[in-house]
Amino acid sequence: MRTQVVIIGAGPAGLLLSQLLQIEGIESVILEKHERAYLEARIRAGVLEPRTVDLLRRAGVGDRMDREGLPHGGFCFSFDRGQFRIDLQELTGGGHMMVYGQSEVTKDLIAAIIARGGNLVFGADQVRPADLQSDRPTVTYVKNGITHRIECDFVAGCDGYHGVARSCIPVDVLKIFERSYPFGWLGILADVPPCHDEIIYANHERGFALASMRSRTRSRYYIQCGIDERVEQWSDNQIWDELALRLGPLTGGRMVRGPVLEKSIAPLRSFVAEPMSYGRLFLAGDAAHIVPPTGAKGLNLASADVYYLSRALTVFYRSGDMAELGGYSARALSRVWKAERFSWWITALTHRFAEQDEFARKLQLAELDYLRGSRAAQAAVAENYVGLALE
C-alpha cells in the first residue's frame, strides 16, 4: 500500500492532522492500536483555547462543539483571602475558552474521517516505522494476525507518551527534559450541575482543588493528593467533604453532591523531548511533550503542533520546499516551552509541596494577593491562559 503521510495514533492530534491534510488534498492513513469504543470513552481534559476552537472549525468538526460547548470568558482563583476573577475577554481583547470534553472532540473527528471515507485502521498492532532517513519511509503493522506494509513520504508520530514513534529517534540524538511532581490529582466526574459558571483554581492550606465542568449538568472536580495514595482510600463522601473545605464556604456551599461516575488519580509531570523530528518522522502532542493539567495546555499544545505540521506538509506538497518541515521542531518547541513554563508556574502557585515551609507558604499567598490587585499581572496570566499566538 502507498500513501503520502502515515499517522501513528488516533488521539485528537492524529485525527485532527488527518482532517486538515485531507482539506489540502493530502492523503493519509491513521494507524491506531485501540478500538474506536476505547478511544471515545477515555475521560480527558476539555478546556479549549480560542485557536484550538478555530482550528476545529476549520477542520469541519466545530458544529456540535458550538452547540454544546460552554464558552468561558474568565476563570477564578480562590485562596484564604477570598476569590477573584481573571477576565479573559477584557484583558485579552475578546479571548475566551471553550469547555468541551476531549472525548467529544475525538468522537467528532472520528465521525468526520469515517464519513469522508478516510483510511483509519483500528486494532493496528506492532506498528514499526523504518527507513526514516530516506525519502521513502515505510511503516508495517499487524492486524488480525496479518502483517501489512505501507510506503509513504512522511510519518507523523501522534501516538502519545508510551507510543513507538519517539523511540525511533536514536538515543544519541534525542534529549529528554523531565520533572515529576510529588503529588497527584484525585479526580471525580459526577452528573451534578457545576458549583460555578467558570473554572475555579483553589489554593488551600490542605492542598489544591479545582472545580470544573463538562456540561451544564456534569461536573469535574479535582483535589491534590499524595502520589502514593489510591482511589480506594477515598470514599465519595470524603471527597465531597474535602472539596467543600478546599473550595471555601462560598463555592463549597453551592456545590451539589451526587453519585460519582468516575474516580481516578493522575500523577503530574512535565516532559519534553527534543528534537520533535528525525528524518521523515515528526512528533506531535504527547509523543513529544506532557504538561501538568494545571492551566489546560495539553490538548491545546497538540493542536498547535498539528497546525504547524499540517502547514509545513502543505507547503511541501505544493512547492517541494522542505524548509517549513525543517523548521517544524524549533517552531513547535518554542511554543511548548512557553506552555511548560506557564503550567509549572500555575502549579507552583496553587499547590502545597512537601518541603514547603511557612515562608514559602506566605510567598504563595502574597503572589495571589498581588495578582488579585494588579491588572498588569492579570493580563500576563490571561495572555498565557488563552494561548499565545501561532507563528
Residue by residue, DSSP assigns 367-388 as HHHHHHH-HHHHHHHHHHHH-P
Q: Is residue 18 part of a domain?
A: yes
For the chain, what is the domain count? 1
pTM: 0.95
Is residue 124 in a domain?
yes
Rounded (10°) CA dihedral 10, 299, 151, 39 = -10
Q: Is residue 138 part of a domain?
A: yes
What is the extent of the structural domain holding 314? 5-43+101-177+269-346
Question: In sequence order, what DSSP letters do the residues of 101-154 get, joined into one string?
Answer: -HHHHHHHHHHHHHHTT-EEEES-EEEEEE-TTSSS-EEEEEETTEEEEEE-SE
Using a 10 angstrom Cβ sphere, with 0-12 exposed, 13-18 middle and 19 or more buried, the burial of residue 142 is middle
Task: Say if residues 270 and 179 touch (Cβ distance below 8 Å).
Answer: yes
pLDDT at position 179, please?
95
CB atoms within 10 A of CB 257: 14
pLDDT bracket for residue 344 (50, 70, 90): very high
Bond preceding residue 249 cis, omega within 30 of 0: no
User: Is there a contact between 340 and 333 (Cβ–Cβ < 8 Å)?
Assistant: no
CB 302 within 8 A of CB 13: yes
SS3 content of the chain, % helix, strand, coil (to 5): 40, 30, 30
Question: Given a cut of 90, is residue 41 above it in pLDDT?
Answer: no
Instruction: Quickly state the pLDDT bin for 94 (edges 50, 70, 90).
Output: confident
Class of residue 377 by CB neighbours under 10 A (exposed 0-12, middle 13-18, buried 19+): middle
Q: What are phi and psi of 95, to 5 degrees?
A: -70, 140
Q: Is the pLDDT confidence value at 19 over 90?
A: yes
| Residue 361 within a domain | no
The residues that are catalytic are 72, 201, 293, 297, 385
- pLDDT for 185-221, tens place per residue? 999 999 999 999 999 999 999 999 999 998 899 999 9
CATH at residue 301:
3.50.50.60
Residue 285 domain-assigned?
Answer: yes
3-state secondary structure of 27: coil
Domain assignment present for residue 152? The answer is yes
Judge whether 71 lies within some domain.
no
Q: How far apart are CA 91 and CA 242, in angstroms?
A: 33
The predicted pLDDT at position 390 comes to: 86
Query: Tell me, what's the pLDDT at 354?
Result: 87
Q: Is residue 168 part of a domain?
A: yes
